[in-house]
Amino acid sequence: MGIAVAINQIKDMFAVVMLAGIYGLVSASFFVTLDAVDVAFTEASVGAGISTLLMLTTVAITGRTEHEASHKPMLALFVVMVTGGLLIYGTFDMPYFGSVDAPVQNHVGPRYILDSMQEIGVPNMVTSVLASYRGFDTFGEVTVIFTAGIGVLALLSVVRRPEDDTAIEAINDSMHEKHLILRVVIKTLIPFILLYAFYVQFHGDFGPGGGFQAGVIFAAGIILYAMLFGLSVARRVIKQPLVQLLSAIGVLIYGSVGVVSMLNGGSFLDYGVLSADPIAGQHLGILLIELGVGVTVASVMIIIFFSFAGRSEYQQAKKGKSL
Amino acid sequence: MDTLLNLASSFCLLLGSFLCLSGGVGILRFPDFYTRMHAAGVSDTLAAAMILIGLMLQIPETLVIIKLIIILLMTLFISPSASHALGRAALLNGLTPVVAGDKNHAGQTTEVGDNPSKS
Amino acid sequence: MIIAATLAILVVMVLAIIRGVMGPSLYDRILAVNMFGTKTVLLISLLGFVMGRPEFLDIAMVYALINFISVIGVLRLFEAFTAKHNGKVVEPAQRDL
Amino acid sequence: MSMILGLYNYWIVIVLMMIGFYIIIAHGHLIKKIVGLNIFQTSVFIFYISLGKVEGGTAPIWQEGILLYSNPLPHVLILTAIVVGIATTALGLALTIRLKEAYGTIDEDEIQAMDNQAMDNQDKESKPC
């Protein structure tokens, strides 16, 4: 397990990012061995996939060298060592790894494990806790993601002028001459990726999966398309205003489910009242909420990637003109 | 019948593991990028196929077998095309292969090495 | 038998990590990441069998996909990067495909 | 010995966390800082997940005949934390790109030096009048 420790001590930025990708994969495998399949799912698609891509785009924009640190690292090392020592001292009181009688296992956990099947009727406990017991939290998370999307858009959106567009397309065309094999393979793969995203979305009640993961996978399919066929082509297929609208609509779906359940006499996000049969109501509520989450996550990821790649292309075009 | 299936699956798994290991040794020991890529790419595909087939022979449930087949198909699609893209990109960006009889054993140009490329 | 295969894959993963840390060229690293990803797919499928719950193959599928996407992404972005910093777009090779 | 076996996962987490922390404070390069932040984050994730692990339990997906599951609560918390993590990473990277455009560098010290210089110049301009 100590593998990941050695990884991250290299200077070149591209190499660092690649190793960060491997690190994401390693930690996702940890999660599988620790029984957290849903988390592994998310970490695989987010930590190893999307965040690596975003970092690479940034490195491509900002350059790959790192200057030698000018100040001495001894102080930092000292601070780190002291903190680490204190934390290790703190672990001596911790319950042993995997012990059944640890305090964590004794409070809310058993209730979720024992009763969620009767109360929610969804085999995947992670989904039922995520969407129903702690639905309010998840609402907050979705809002955070939405806000991040807006933030990235505010920071990186470029005012697009037609002459820039032609320059960008010239660059794209020259790049597209090659990659014939890749384009054919990816063209066949993309429909399956999107289909698989829907499977993950709606199968989340029964197996690992759910809105977050499905959204990321869906976005990954679109990103793959955008990377190989050029951003302008992808923009023609996926209109950016539509995506922006969708990201808001996802949050809106989530919130309105809560409001509707309030109007039906329950409390906010209490899906039991959505239908005559509480369990059917829970199913309906979870389905709708996961849909909202999926839509928001997918569109925010697409927005983020489009903004990053658009910035990169914009700079390329500017550079091309100045040459 | 059961023992036969078990035997077949063990054989597939063992073969897969062996191929995996040889690929791993290859990626570590070979002198330049292209031979390493050869070792990784070729052994990877067959090893993945072998291990997945070995797993398929172990389990009677249809759904699991279908999923395994999907994974297998995806590996067969993805692994060679990724190798193709990788090798092509390396060649186009001026990473020279080590040719037999080449005295200069380094095999890497400075352009795309670890050294940051001069802008 | 499954355990033996799992161990073999773990060993190979370590080898791939060593290659990824050593470099020397960027492509070696990408190769290591790619190989690591394939091995992770296999590892997850095997682990599902070891732990007796083989329905977790979905995760393996995601891994395969994401691995591919990141390799392609790295290549495309690196290509764009070199094109940008050398001031020229790399010409398609003579021996096409 | 039993202590080592019982607590080793926490120690791994702490070592990871310290590496991430060190990268954050010792390196001036902003992208590297973000990578360090990610490592730090992941170490916290692993900590939570390993808290939820129960010896002999399986993944918390209900199935006929299985009685012992790992605790689903940490999984939920970390699942959302990962997605929020990518959101913060994206925002940080976006800020980095803007800094690069504004200053021409993304090294913390250089940015600081430029800022100080600009401040001094302002002072000089304002003092004579």
What ipTM score was computed for the predicted complex, to two decimals?
0.79
Is C81 part of the contact surface with chain D (CB cutoff 8 Å)? Answer: no
**For residue A278, is it within any domain?**
yes
> Does B65 score more than 80 pLDDT?
yes
**For residue B117, is it within any domain?**
no
Confidence (pLDDT) at A162: 57
Is C17 part of the contact surface with chain A (CB cutoff 8 Å)? Answer: yes
Confidence (pLDDT) at A17: 74
Q: Cβ contact (<8 Å) for C79 and A217? A: no
Confidence (pLDDT) at C96: 37
**For residue B62, is it within any domain?**
yes
Which of A76-90, A138-152, A182-196, D50-64 has the least mean pLDDT? D50-64
Q: Cβ contact (<8 Å) for C56 and D58? A: no
CB-nearest partner of C24 from B10, B89, B113 = B113
**For residue A114, is it within any domain?**
no
Both A150 and A298 in a single domain? yes
Q: Cβ contact (<8 Å) for B85 and A179? A: yes
Which of A95-99, A150-154, B19-23 has the least mean pLDDT? A95-99
> Does D104 score more than 60 pLDDT?
yes
Confidence (pLDDT) at A36: 76
Both A27 and A129 in a single domain? no
CA distance C63 to chain B (A): 10
Task: Name residue A98's amino acid.
Answer: G
Both A311 and A200 in a single domain? yes
Q: Which residues contact D64 (CB under 8 A, 6 or more apart)?
A: none
Q: In angstroms, what CA-CA distances link A293 with A139, A147, A250, A299, A307?
A: 9, 14, 6, 10, 21
Residues A104, A118: Cα–Cα separation, whole Å:
22
Last residue of a domain, one of A102, A133, A164: A102
Both A18 and A140 in a single domain? no
Model confidence pLDDT, tens digit, residues C59-94: 888 888 888 888 887 777 777 666 655 544 444 433
Contact A44, A25 (CB under 8 A): yes
Please report the number of interchain residue pairs, chain C to chain D, with beta-carbon separation below 8 angstroms: 8
Q: What are phi and psi of B113, to 5 degrees?
A: -75, -160
3-class state of residue C69 by DSSP: helix
Tokens found for residue A121: 């009727």
Q: In angstroms, what CA-CA distances link A277 with A42, A127, A196, D75, D112?
A: 32, 20, 31, 29, 62
Which of A132-141, A152-161, A246-255, B32-41 has the least mean pLDDT? A152-161
Q: In angstroms, what CA-CA distances link A220 with A44, A45, A215, A227, C62?
A: 12, 8, 8, 10, 11
Number of domains in chain A: 2
Residues D98, D86: Cα–Cα separation, whole Å:
18
**For residue B76, is it within any domain?**
yes
Percent of chain B with pLDDT over 90: 0
Q: What are phi and psi of D69, to 5 degrees?
A: -120, 160
Report the DSSP beta bridge partners of residue A124: D61
Q: How confident is the model at residue A192 (pLDDT cuts 50, 70, 90)?
A: confident
Give B95 or B17, the one with higher predicted confidence.
Answer: B17
Task: Name residue A83's amino acid.
Answer: T
| Most A-contacting residue of C25, C45, C76 (CB-CB within 10 A), to test interface | C76
Both A139 and A241 in a single domain? yes
**For residue A72, is it within any domain?**
yes
CA distance A118 to chain B (A): 26
CB-nearest partner of C73 from A22, A56, A177 = A56
Model confidence pLDDT, tens digit, residues C36-52: 888 888 888 888 887 77
Query: Running DSSP on this structure, what letter comes out for residue C30?
Result: H
Model confidence pLDDT, tens digit, residues D109-128: 777 788 888 888 888 777 66
Percent of chain A with pLDDT over 90: 0
- Structural domain boundaries enclosing A270: 125-323
> Does A260 score more than 80 pLDDT?
yes
Please report the number of interchain residue pairs, chain A to chain C, with beta-carbon separation below 8 angstroms: 140
Contact list in B for residue C80 (CB cut-off 8 A) is none
Confidence (pLDDT) at B114: 43
Its sign, for the CA torsion B16, B22, B24, B27, is negative
Both A194 and A319 in a single domain? yes
**For residue A9, is it within any domain?**
yes
> Does A175 score more than 50 pLDDT?
yes
Both A184 and A236 in a single domain? yes
Which of B113-117, C93-97, D82-86 has the least mean pLDDT? C93-97
Which domains can be identified in chain D, with CATH numbers?
Answer: 2-126 (1.10.287.3510)
Confidence (pLDDT) at A7: 53
Contact A308, A57 (CB under 8 A): yes
- A175: closest CA among A7, A320, A311? A320
Confidence (pLDDT) at B84: 83
> Does A6 score more than 70 pLDDT?
no
Confidence (pLDDT) at A173: 59
> Any contact of A with B, at least 3 CB pairs below 8 A?
yes
- Structural domain boundaries enclosing B12: 2-91
Is A86 part of the contact surface with chain C (CB cutoff 8 Å)? Answer: no
- Residues 48..77 of A with a Cβ closer than 8 Å to C: which? 48-49, 52-53, 56-57, 59-60, 63-64
Both A161 and A239 in a single domain? yes
Is D82 part of the contact surface with chain C (CB cutoff 8 Å)? Answer: no
Chain B: partners with 3+ C-beta pairs within 8 Å: A, C
